Each structure stands twice: as C-alpha cells, then as structure tokens.
A and B are shown apart, each in its own frame.
Chain A
Amino acid sequence: MIIVKDLSVERLNKKIFENINLSLTSGNITILKGKNGSGKTTLLKTILNIIEPSVGSIYWKGKLLKKNLYDFYSHITYIADKTSSLTKLTVKDNISIWSKIFLSNINNSQIETALKTLKLEDHLNQKVGTLSFGEIKKLEFLRLIIENKKVWFLDEPLSNLDEYSIELIKQTFEDHVAKEGSIIFSSHQNPGIYVTEEINL
C-alpha cells in the first residue's frame, strides 16, 4: 500500500537520513531502528507528509501521496511519542471526544473490555493529569481501537511500559496483522516482536 522510494530529508542543510526505501503491504509489520536522534520520528512524519522530503517520493495505493492525501489520512492512525490526551479532562471525557471526532463505529462494551484489559477501568472518572505516565501511555493506545483504521503509525510504542503492557501490545499487533492491517513503528531497543521488514537508520 505504501511505497517509499529513495527518501532523503535535510534540515538546515544537515542530512538526517538518506535513500530510505520501504514498502508496506497489508499484513506487514515494519520496524524503524536506530539510536536517539537518528531520525525515526522524522521518517514517520515524512511518510505522513508533515515534513517535506528533499529527495524522493511516497506512493499510496499506486498514486503519489500528495495527490490523494486525505484518502491516506482516512486510513491511518498515528500515535506520537507525546501523549495527545487532554490532561484537564477525565478519562471518560477523553474517550467520548475521541470516539466522536474519529466517527468511531465502536460500541461501549468493546471500549469497556479494552479498558479492562488495559487495567484502566478504575480511573474512568479521574483527570488524565493525575494518572501515572505509563497509564497515560496506555490510554493513548486506546485510540488504536477507537479509530479502527488499517495502517498504524506508532512512535516509540514500547518505551515506558511494564512487561504486562508490552505483552498486551504484542498481542494487539498480532491481532491487527491477522486482520490484514499493517503497522509501522519505531523503537530504539529490540522489541522481540516478529517483523517483516527492518530498517536501520
């Protein structure tokens, strides 16, 4: 679905990465590996057409990405390394806002089971700002289920999580791939997840 050809990005005339080639088809998991500051987030944002590449082109469903950008956007979920939940609101409000603005067709019982597996059901009426960092991160993953999109873009999904949550995420990844979805994520450690393509930055 996504094909990236000879991608290079420059910032302030400094090369961040050069000649990246990757292709992501349904049912694939691609991992971007590299040290801190090697340009993993930049690559993700470049594929999302937020950063302009200096050289190279990106294709979505055989067409140039820029030509059908919003069709592309309607098929992806992006989770940044920062948390996008609104810290002033409660967990419940955040979930209701997300399921509304993403026009989610998911029902309440599915969300409840997801909350239970993430062990967040006790914090439903708590403000997000009072949760611990790991819990906020887990809440962020709820967006994957609410948005229910095909392609997942995840930036450092495994950092700051305990073993149980990492296991959970591996499980989610496998389920998603089994449903013909595809995942592209970045990590600076070895995650121990089966991946089909590995890109070293």
Chain B
Amino acid sequence: MNFLVNPSKFNEIADYIFKPILILSIVLFALGLLFALYLSPDDYQQGSTVRIMYVHVPSAWLSLLTYGIMTLYSIVALAFRIPFGFIFNTAVAPIGAVFTLICIVSGSLWGKPMWGTWWVWDARLTSVAILFIIYLIIIFMNFSFENRVVREKVVAIFILVGSVNLPIVKFSVDWWNTLHQPATISKLSKPSIDPSMMTPLIIMTFAFMMIGIAIAILRIKTEIISRKSYLS
C-alpha cells in the first residue's frame, strides 16, 4: 500500500494500471448506459425520468467520497508530514467539484418534472451547494498563494475545517423532514430499491469511479512533475 503515500512508487504503479483502468471505465460506462437506458424498467410513478438517477446518484456519492478521501489525506499529510497528501489534494479537488456540479445539474433537471421547480431550498440541496462552493474555494486557494508550503498546508487545514459539511450532506434528509427523498440504499437495512434498478446504478457508480481514478492519475502525475521542475 506504499504507493498511496509515495510519489515515485505511485508513478510506477500508475503507469502499470492506467491503461486497464481506462479500458475498464469505457467498458463499464458503455455497459452502464446500456442498462440504464434500455434494460431497466420505468418507475411506476416517475416514468422515464427516473433514469436521471443513474447519473445523479453516482455523482453525488462520488462527490462525497472524493471529499472524504481528501480529508483523510489532509490528516495524513498534516500529522505525518507526508507531502503526497498535498499533491493529492491539489490534483483531485477539481474532479470532486465536477462531480458535485454534475450532481447539482442532474438533480435540477430531475427536480423540474418531479417537483415542478429547478431548485428548492431544502437541506440536502443547500448542503450540496455549499459542498460545491467549498470545492471552488479550495481550487481558488490553490491559485492565490505565492508560497507553495503555506498554500498546501492552509488548503489542508481548510479541507479539514470544511469537512464538517460532510455529515450534514449525508444525514440532512434523515435529520430534517424535507422534500428530497431519503436515501434508498443503505448498508444497515434492506435496500428499498428493485434489483433491476440496482444493477445499472452499481455499474454506473463503478464507471464514474473508474473515470475519476483515471483523471486523478493523470492529474497527480502532472502535479508530481510540476513540483519536481519547481524544485530544481
């Protein structure tokens, strides 16, 4: 597991696994689209619009997952002085922002036919919007500091402080009675979703994840190279 914290090891492994991941992501995405658009049934209430879920839910999960991993890397980087955490944060923040944006836009498109409005001020939507703005602030911070050492540490501290938003996003539908439907899939209880819809959802989630990992590998490698040239 050393490659998760060591830049040179990471480069070795990344060269090795990049192409398989790329191919896997294309295959999974094609398969997922096939399932999502043709092989899954319509919802008896929502009709065909339920298919937006296969984009909306995976991107929502991954936006939270990305932030969670960034938080972990910030702790590791600050506590154990491992610079790879800072590299990871700089490289991955835009990916998380894009996932959040996809989640917001697809949710908005889903909300118009279902709730009759593009946007409502309910707890889940607001907290996801805040998550998006936090991602944007992280990206802007990466541009506005002259000194690299200060920049990466301050960004890591900001990520840690901003991580209080994660549980709010996750549990907002359980804590407050809002318009957004509660989570249909959770580990503790039996999922309230039909297997025929479950399959494309899982496939799409893995497809999104693989695409995210592929882009992340490219971005982390670029970041490592740009640092090396900065040092010499």
| Neighbouring A residues of B230 by C-beta, 8 Å | 12
| Neighbouring A residues of B79 by C-beta, 8 Å | none
Task: Write the nearest CB–CB distance from B232 to chain A, whole angstroms.
Answer: 9
Q: A14 CA to B148 CA in the complex, in Å?
A: 13
A13 at the interface (CB under 8 A from B): yes
Q: A14 CA to B230 CA in the complex, in Å?
A: 10
Q: How large is the interface on A (under 10, 10 to 19, 20 to 34, 35 or more residues)?
A: under 10
Q: How large is the interface on B (under 10, 10 to 19, 20 to 34, 35 or more residues)?
A: under 10
B161 at the interface (CB under 8 A from A): no
Contact with B along A1-39 (1 / 0, CB 8 A): 000000000011110000000000000000000000000
B149 at the interface (CB under 8 A from A): yes
Task: Write the nearest CB–CB distance from B225 to chain A, whole angstroms.
Answer: 15
Tell me if B's interface is mostly helix, strand, loop or mixed.
helix
B231 at the interface (CB under 8 A from A): yes
Taking CB atoms and an 8 Å cut-off, the chain A residues in 95-113 that contact chain B are none
| Neighbouring A residues of B148 by C-beta, 8 Å | 12
| Neighbouring B residues of A13 by C-beta, 8 Å | 231
Task: Write the nearest CB–CB distance from B186 to chain A, whole angstroms.
Answer: 45
Q: A55 CA to B170 CA in the complex, in Å?
A: 45
| Neighbouring B residues of A12 by C-beta, 8 Å | 148-149, 230-231
Q: A13 CA to B148 CA in the complex, in Å?
A: 11
Taking CB atoms and an 8 Å cut-off, the chain B residues in 18-54 that contact chain A are none
Task: Write the nearest CB–CB distance from B5 to chain A, whole angstroms.
Answer: 18
| Neighbouring B residues of A11 by C-beta, 8 Å | 149
Q: A14 CA to B149 CA in the complex, in Å?
A: 13
Q: A11 CA to B149 CA in the complex, in Å?
A: 9
Task: Write the nearest CB–CB distance from A145 to chain B, whole angstroms.
Answer: 35
| Neighbouring B residues of A14 by C-beta, 8 Å | 231
Name B232's closest neighbour in chain A (CB-CB).
A13
| Neighbouring A residues of B149 by C-beta, 8 Å | 11-12
Task: Write the nearest CB–CB distance from B35 to chain A, whole angstroms.
Answer: 49
Q: Which residues of B contact A (CB under 8 A)?
A: 148-149, 230-231
Closest 7 CB pairs of A and B: A13-B231, A12-B148, A12-B149, A12-B231, A12-B230, A11-B149, A14-B231
| Residue contacts A-B, CB under 8 angstroms, 7 given | A11-B149, A12-B148, A12-B149, A12-B230, A12-B231, A13-B231, A14-B231
